[in-house]
Amino acid sequence: MTDAFKIRPARTSDVVEIRRLVKPLADERVLLEKEAVAYFEGIQEFRVAETPEGEVVGCGAVHVMWEDIAEVRTLATAAHWRGRGVGHALLDELIGAARDLGVNRVFCLTFEVDFFTRHGFEVMADQSAVDPEVYSELLRSTDEGVAEFLDLARVKPNTLGNTRMIRSL
Ligand SMILES: CC(C)(COP(=O)(O)OP(=O)(O)OC[C@H]1O[C@@H](n2cnc3c(N)ncnc32)[C@H](O)[C@@H]1OP(=O)(O)O)[C@@H](O)C(=O)NCCC(=O)NCCS
């Protein structure tokens, strides 16, 4: 069965829907909730899944962290659309975008270990994904996702129970 939806780049008018998708997951501490301004600033990183009726039923973003590494973040499918290929299609698109951006590794922080494993991600064994020099450069970032990647103490409440995963492209 092919469910009808398409993946397209997000537009500013999608921010309301993206926040609606993220809210219940943020309440469960599955995803990080951000201010509206952060979604507008990051809108070019986002893709959404849209039905023919114009309903946004999924979203996801790819955020570059360094020359060779990006993060897949805010991947979410509306509860009533789960298990119909939306997450898979979004992730494929984000991986393609990461390739186009020139990175060769993609990180994610997730409870959905099986889903990401089926998409080629592996649990990160340690911090050695970046060398110490890059690690110290990344410490200058104010981005929460980068802080989570670095496993900094101040974001531990966000990362609790999550698994750090990485995939080579
Ligand atoms: C992770 C998440 C985005 C997956 O979304 P999804 O749309 O349900 O994903 P899919 O439908 O592509 O895949 C889920 C299952 O549905 C099944 N499926 C996939 N395509 C299908 C199709 N066309 N028809 C029927 N079933 C299908 C598959 O069996 C798949 O199982 P698998 O995980 O064993 O491969 C979703 O569970 C979610 O929003 N989770 C909360 C947020 C989160 O944790 N995000 C990750 C961190 S950023």
CA distance readout (Å), 124 to 45, 129, 163, 167: 24, 8, 8, 9
Atom of ligand 1 nearest to the CA of 109: 47
Report, as an integer, the average pLDDT of 122-126: 87
Amino acid sitting at position 54: G
> Above 70 in pLDDT, residue 3?
no
- Residue with CA at minimum distance from ligand 1 atom 38: 76
Q: Residue 134's CB: how many other CB atoms inside 10 A? A: 15
Atom of ligand 1 nearest to the CA of 111: 44
| pTM: predicted TM-score of the whole model, two decimal places | 0.93
- pLDDT band at residue 112 under the 50/70/90 scheme: very high
DSSP string over 75-103 = EEE-GGGTTSSHHHHHHHHHHHHHHHHT-
* pLDDT, tens digit, 9 for 90 and up, residues 63-77: 999 999 999 999 999
DSSP assigned state of 141: -
* pLDDT, tens digit, 9 for 90 and up, residues 24-48: 999 998 998 899 999 999 999 999 9
Atom of ligand 1 nearest to the CA of 3: 23
Pocket test for ligand 1, best of 82, 110, 158, 164 (most atoms within 8 A of CB): 82
Tokens of 31: 């995803």
- Residue with CA at minimum distance from ligand 1 atom 29: 83
- Residue with CA at minimum distance from ligand 1 atom 34: 115
Q: How far is the CA of 41 from the centre of ligand 1 (A)?
A: 27
Question: Pocket around ligand 1: residues whose beta carbon is below 6 Å from it?
Answer: 1, 3, 25, 30-31, 73-77, 82-88, 108, 110-112, 114-115, 118
- pLDDT band at residue 60 under the 50/70/90 scheme: very high
- Residue with CA at minimum distance from ligand 1 atom 9: 87
Q: How far is the CA of 121 from the centre of ligand 1 (A)?
A: 15
